Amino acid sequence: MILVTGGAGFIGSNFVLDWCAGADEPVVNLDKLTYAGNLANLASLRDDPNHVFVQGDIGDVALVRRLLAEHRPRAVVNFAAESHVDRSIHGPEDFIQTNIVGTFHLLEAVRDYWGALPDAEKAAFRFLHVSTDEVYGSLAKDDPAFSETNRYEPNSPYSASKAASDHLVRAYHHTYGLPVLTTNCSNNYGPYHFPEKLIPLCIHNALAGKPLPIYGDGQQIRDWLFVKDHCSAIRRVLDAGRLGEVYNVGGWNEKANLDVVGTLCAILDELSPRADGQSYKTQITFVTDRPGHDRRYAIDASKLERELGWKPAETFETGIRKTVQWYLDNQEWVANVTSGNYREWLGKQYGA
Q: Which residues are catalytic?
A: 133-134, 158
3 state SS of 295 = coil
Long-range (24+ apart) CB contacts under 8 A made by 342-347 are: 342/35, 342/195, 342/196, 345/87, 345/196, 346/196, 346/201
* Strand residue runs (E) in the chain: 2-5, 27-31, 51-55, 75-78, 126-132, 180-185, 187-189, 212-215, 221-226, 246-249, 254-256, 284-287
Calpha distance 142→183 (Å, rounded): 24
Tell me the C-alpha distance between 277 and 315, whole Å: 29
Task: Tell me the three state secondary structure of residue 74.
Answer: coil
Which of these, 169, 164, 190, 189, lies nearest to 181 by C-alpha position?
A: 169
Q: Helix (H, G, I), strand (E, B), or coil: what is residue 285?
A: strand
